[in-house]
């Protein structure tokens, strides 16, 4: 039996599905690349951006122990609401002492005024004595002159002449003493007037000290400087706090804005007033509109605690970023969802 020749095996046709899939993938990649390139050419964008707001630190003006805390973490507060009260017992005791010093100063002023009045009376008495001594001296001088003439005529005795001379010289010395007493009294008046002025100044100092102490007492009650929400507290009751040490921070929840840090080669075409599209990472479906409000006059590195020194020998060029402030449109619509520090993506259409 003769062997029949082998018939050729038919070739399998290639499936068009693979080509279709490859074509679809290429189209998708091409479209995605086109949209990305087109978006990049018509927009300036960055994800180096955050939501910002006002953060108001609450600081005590006087040191002391915390007596009571009227708020909790993340509470909403109103302007002027009592937040913290410090123990004021020591300040109250100091106020009582200052008030006692004020009363003592008032007594010193009264004594100084009384001494001045006595000195003025004495001054008037001294002036009266001078007038009397002048009259007496004038009479003694006339008596001495008359007795001297009478003695020459042997009308009076030597003793009478000596007595008249003695009276005249005595009254002359008394008049000199009266002038000295007057000068002393006048100089004492100046001293006593200065004492009155000093006592009055001391009273003013005591008043100022009392007012200052009352002001310190008012500082023991710490009120909210602005409405908002309390951040995390850094204190507890009974804790001693120093003046100026932050107790907590109030977050202003009524206004927010965006600070986006664009690269230095992106700000060429940015200017205030340009519209901005904002996407919040926490709310991917939330689309927010805004506008460029202002551009910083310095890069972010200039505001660092230790700004870089490019004059050093080891220089590596790093692309700098410029902060751009972006205002949010219809702020009241989004203030319930926005939080300070949230990351956002911003894009600025280029017209």
Judge contact between 347 and 36, C-beta under 8 A.
no
Three-state DSSP class for 276? strand
- Residues 189, 190, 196, 199: is their CA dihedral positive or negative? negative
User: Are residues 240 and 187 located together in one domain of the fold?
Assistant: no
**Domain contains 36:** no
Q: Are residues 135 and 180 in the same domain?
A: yes
Residues 123 and 212 in one domain: yes
What's the pLDDT score for residue 5? 53
| Domain contains 25 | no
Residue 66 shares a structural domain with residue 182? no
* 298 in a structural domain: yes
- Same domain membership, residue 208 and residue 95: yes
The two structure tokens encoding residue 220: 């023991």
With a cut of 50, say whether residue 121 has pLDDT above it. yes
Q: How far is CA 294 from the centre of its chain?
A: 28
196 and 110 in one domain?
yes
Is residue 328 domain-resident? yes
pTM: 0.67
Q: What is the 3-state secondary structure (H, E, C) of 95-146?
A: HHHHHHHHHHHHHHHHHHHHHHHHHHHHHHHHHHHHHHHHHHHHHHHHHHHH
Residues 6+ apart with CB under 8 A from 94: 213
Domain span at 53? 46-79+234-349
Apex 45 CA angle, 44 and 47, nearest 5: 160
Question: Among 32-41, 106-115, 130-139, 327-336, where is mean pLDDT lowest?
Answer: 32-41
Domain count within the chain: 2
Number of Cβ within 10 Å of residue 216's Cβ equals 17
What is the chain's mean pLDDT, rounded?
A: 84
pLDDT of 301 over the 80 cut: yes
Give the residue, 76 or 133, on which the prediction is more confident. 76
Answer yes or no: is 7 within a domain: no
Range in 39-53, 240-254, 272-286 the model is least confident about? 39-53
* Helix intervals (H) in the chain: 16-42, 89-152, 158-219, 331-334
Q: What is the CATH number of the domain that holds 159?
A: 1.10.287.620
Q: Which of 244, 255, 252 is nearest to 224 (CA)?
A: 252
Residue range 83-95: average pLDDT?
94
In a domain, 2, yes or no: no
The distance of Cα 74 from the centroid of its chain, to the nearest Å, equals 25
CA distance 119 to 192: 8
- How far is the CA of 348 from the CAs of 43, 216, 264, 266, 295, in angstroms? 5, 52, 15, 10, 13
The CATH code of the domain that includes 57 is 2.40.30.170
């Amino acid at each position: 039996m003769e062997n029949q020749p082998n018939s050729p095996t038919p070739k399998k046709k290639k499936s068009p599905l693979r080509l279709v899939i490859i074509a679809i993938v290429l189209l998708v990649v091409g479209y995605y690349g086109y949209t990305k390139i087109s978006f990049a050419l018509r927009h300036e964008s960055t994800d180096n951006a955050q939501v910002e707001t006002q953060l108001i630190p609450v600081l005590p003006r006087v040191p002391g122990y915390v007596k009571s805390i009227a708020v909790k973490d993340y509470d909403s507060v109103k302007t002027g609401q009592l937040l913290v009260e410090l123990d004021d017992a020591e300040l109250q005791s100091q106020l009582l002492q200052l008030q006692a010093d004020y009363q003592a100063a008032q007594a010193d002023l009264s004594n100084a005024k009384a001494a001045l009045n006595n000195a003025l009376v004495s001054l008037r008495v001294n002036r009266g004595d001078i007038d009397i001594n002048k009259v007496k001296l004038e009479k003694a001088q006339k008596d001495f002159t008359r007795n001297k003439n009478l003695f020459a005529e042997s009308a009076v005795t030597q003793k009478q002449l000596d007595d008249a001379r003695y009276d005249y010289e005595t009254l002359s010395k008394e008049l000199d003493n009266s002038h000295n007493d007057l000068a002393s009294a006048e100089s004492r008046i100046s001293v006593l007037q200065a004492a009155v002025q000093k006592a009055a100044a001391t009273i003013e100092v005591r008043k100022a000290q009392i007012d200052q102490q009352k002001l310190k007492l008012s500082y023991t009650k710490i009120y909210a400087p602005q409405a908002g929400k309390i951040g995390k507290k850094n204190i507890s009751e009974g804790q001693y706090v120093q003046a100026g040490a932050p107790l907590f921070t109030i977050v202003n929840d009524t206004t927010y804005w965006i600070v986006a840090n664009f690269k230095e080669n992106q700000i060429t075409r940015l200017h205030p007033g340009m519209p901005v599209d904002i996407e919040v990472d926490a709310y991917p479906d939330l689309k927010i509109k805004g506008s460029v409000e202002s551009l910083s006059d310095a890069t972010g590195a200039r505001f660092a605690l230790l700004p870089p020194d490019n004059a050093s020998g080891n220089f590596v060029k790093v692309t700098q970023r410029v902060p751009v402030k972006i205002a949010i449109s219809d702020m009241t619509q989004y203030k319930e969802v926005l939080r300070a520090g949230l990351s956002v993506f911003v894009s600025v259409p280029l017209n």
